[in-house]
Structure 1
């Protein structure tokens, strides 16, 4: 309780904290707080869909869960909402369709390590970065596509990015999937997984209901396979020549190689 009050107080002052303190002290402390205060989560036998805004989000947030479900022959599908083309907008040689091809193949190869077959993977190919900017007609068309997908597969669990996950595509993805699930009338549990908010946890509001309903799933048996899957995403975690630095910052992957994956579940599903 005292630790929670401490972080609530720091949260109110987060704008005044310098970046180095946020990254080296505050973020690791918040991560430990989340692990201590989250509830144990057991792998369910329910069929599932994992919705990922970009190629690698599925492995970052749910790689261990995906591998565990596959090991137990629990039906699971992975759906990528965007084509990933905008990850290297200033690269001198790799543009547009070539980046789409690279990231799609990385996704197929990474998911194969997690035992997911190509027939279980869906690419909806919306423009990377465009989810928050969909016109009314584009939004309706995508919602219809998502509803049809949900009604065809009829999952019992639906995994989506955290509704305040810092990245605009992630936030828009949650809103789209939430709306589509309601329209589909399928009684599936909507479970959120954080990605960018694990890297920048100081954005959390400690009064948000998700943090009160955080769960930790042990993935130690699949941690090495998750690491291997993430390493397949070379376009994201290694420099693409002539670039000399990777797209994502040093240390980013470390936060996702924990023995646990974190999920936010609806209050009604508290155990």
Structure 2
């Protein structure tokens, strides 16, 4: 595996049919949130950009909320750099819009969650890792669980957020699990890129899937092409196919 040189988020990425075929031949062990969280009273979801919390673990958050678990979503950035060069989507406009989209998505998901906005500059999370780590350490307790992006997720902000989360969890001695988001895009399981030995699939019922699909639709800024620059949607049909499965995956 040459992951350090091959984590590029370009094009349509690895097709969902490739993942589906690989998982069919390499079934992932299944678990549930009670097993996964093992008594945690608070779960902290670290979202580098608005929408990552829904894409990575929207279904898991629903299941946690139904069990009465307290959920804190850490909005690391406001996602203001998603449309570079666009006159339609200026950074200030995007910051306001994407914050509203995230809040609306949580409402559509019917999840009661505290949203902590850190306003770290989009694209610069690596520069602010110590600040993110310190904020998490101040909030975490030993019984908590942190859900962070995969440490090899491919996007620099995701990987920086993962590093800070893992260090914070280790400092407090609480549990931290990782969720692939852009990792599904760059990784090719046929090449050994994906750590299936660490993966646990959390099944989603029809209600969870439908609510997650509605929540994803709240991210209008990411779902439409930009006529100003000609850029396609950030969340293309290929991305959505990978994010709307009948299960979500955590890496333990």
Q: Normalising TM by the smaller chain, what interval? A: 0.7 to 0.9
* 1:140 and 2:140 matched: no
Distance 1:240 1:20 in 2: 16
Number of the residue aligned with 2:240: 253
For normalisation by structure 1, the TM-score amounts to 0.79
The alignment yields a C-alpha RMSD, in angstroms, of: 2.8
* 1:74 and 2:66 matched: no
* 1:110 and 2:105 matched: yes
Number of the residue aligned with 1:53: 48
Distance 1:76 1:56 in 2: 16
Conservation of the 8 A alpha-carbon contact between 1:129 and 1:168: yes
Distance 1:21 1:172 in 2: 24
* 1:167 and 2:152 matched: no
Conservation of the 8 A alpha-carbon contact between 2:14 and 2:187: no
Distance 1:172 1:194, change over 3 A: same
* 1:122 and 2:122 matched: no
* 1:28 and 2:17 matched: yes
5 Å-filtered alignment, 1:238-249, equals 238-240=224-226, 242=228, 245-249=232-236
Equivalent position SS for 1:39: coil
Q: Give how far 1:21 is off.
A: 11
Distance 2:13 2:228 in 1: 31
- What CA deviation, in whole Å up to 9, does each residue of 1:39-68 have, x standing for no partner? 111121533111111111111110000111
Distance 2:191 2:144 in 1: 29
Distance 1:192 1:50, change over 3 A: same
Number of the residue aligned with 2:209: 223
Number of the residue aligned with 1:268: none
Distance 1:176 1:142 in 2: 6
Equivalent position SS for 2:116: strand
Q: Give how far 1:204 is off.
A: 8.2
Work out which of the residue numbers 190, 193, 197 in structure 2 matches 1:212: 197
Q: Give how far 1:140 is off.
A: 3.2
Distance 1:181 1:65, change over 3 A: same
Q: Give how far 1:116 is off.
A: 2.9
Distance 2:78 2:190 in 1: 28
Q: Give how far 1:203 is off.
A: 7.4
Distance 1:21 1:63 in 2: 22
Work out which of the residue numbers 237, 251, 254 in structure 1 matches 2:223: 237
Higher alpha-carbon Rg: 1
Conservation of the 8 A alpha-carbon contact between 1:219 and 1:260: yes
Conservation of the 8 A alpha-carbon contact between 1:197 and 1:204: no
Distance 1:201 1:162 in 2: 12
Equivalent position SS for 1:251: helix
